[in-house]
């Protein structure tokens, strides 16, 4: 594979990972916390409804999990394409 094709494959995989992470983050923060909140209001978590929990804590915890997942996956992607840090 040529250098240009390898660069394109690397950035394509990187952008795909970013898009998937942003979709998950938007679904959890905007979708569950705002749009789907009325549907989630009947489910109780820690003394409050699930929609409120997602809006206040769930989206933050999901965002932190996405940060660690992205770092882990990017390290693996860097190793696959030979651009890892020393």
Mean pLDDT of 62-66: 94
Per the domain annotation, does 28 fall within a domain?
yes
- Give the pLDDT score at 35: 84
pLDDT above 70 (res 1): no
Angle CA 14–18–22, to nearest 5:
175
Per the domain annotation, does 83 fall within a domain?
no
- Taking the C-alpha atoms of residue 5 and residue 73, their distance in angstroms, rounded to an integer, is 20
Mean pLDDT of 1-27: 90
How many domains does one find in the chain?
1
Per the domain annotation, does 85 fall within a domain?
no
């Amino acid at each position: 594979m040529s250098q240009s094709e390898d660069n394109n494959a690397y950035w394509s995989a990187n952008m795909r990972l970013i898009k998937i992470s942003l979709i998950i983050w938007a679904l959890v923060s905007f979708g569950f916390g705002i749009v789907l909140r009325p549907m989630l209001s009947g489910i109780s978590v820690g003394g409050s409804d699930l929609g409120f929990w997602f809006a206040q804590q769930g989206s933050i915890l999901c965002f932190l999990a996405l940060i660690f997942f992205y770092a882990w996956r990017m390290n693996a992607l860097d190793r696959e394409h030979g651009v890892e840090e020393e």
